[in-house]
Copies of this chain bind each other. A is one copy, B any other.
Amino acid sequence: MTARATDVAALAEGVAAGERRALARAITLVESGRADHRAQALDLLARLRAEGSPARGRQALRLGLSGTPGVGKSTFIESFGLMLTGQGKRVAVLAVDPSSARSGGSILGDKTRMEQLSRDPLAFIRPSPSQAQMGGVARRTREAVALCEAAGFDLVLIETVGVGQSETVVAELCDLFLLLLAPAGGDELQGVKRGIMEMADLILVNKADGDLKPAALRTMADYAGALRLLRRRPQDPEGFPKAICVSAVEREGLAAAWDEMQALAAWRQAGGHWAARRAAQARHWFEEEVRQGLLAALAQEPARGMLERLGQAVTEGSLTPEAAAARLLDRLA
Contact = CB atoms under 8 A, between A and B. Distances in A.
A325 B286 contact: yes
A279 B316 contact: yes
A250 interface: no
Contacts of A295: 291, 294-295
B279 A328 contact: no
B289 A322 contact: yes
A297 interface: yes
A36 to B, nearest CB: 16
A174 to B, nearest CB: 16
Interface in A22-62: 42, 45-46, 49
A329 interface: yes
Contacts of A317: 279, 282
A121 interface: no
Contacts of A191: 189, 191
A290 B294 contact: no
Copies held by the complex: 2
Nearest to A329: B293
Interface in A300-331: 307, 310-311, 314-317, 320-326, 328-329
A211 interface: no
Interface of A: 42, 45-46, 49, 142, 164, 187-189, 191, 279-280, 282-283, 285-287, 289-291, 293-295, 297-298, 307, 310-311, 314-317, 320-326, 328-329, 332
29 contacts: A42-B322, A45-B320, A142-B321, A164-B164, A187-B188, A188-B189, A189-B189, A279-B315, A280-B315, A282-B314, A282-B315, A282-B317, A282-B321, A283-B314, A283-B321, A285-B321, A286-B311, A286-B314, A286-B324, A286-B325, A289-B321, A289-B324, A289-B325, A290-B307, A290-B328, A290-B329, A293-B325, A293-B328, A294-B329
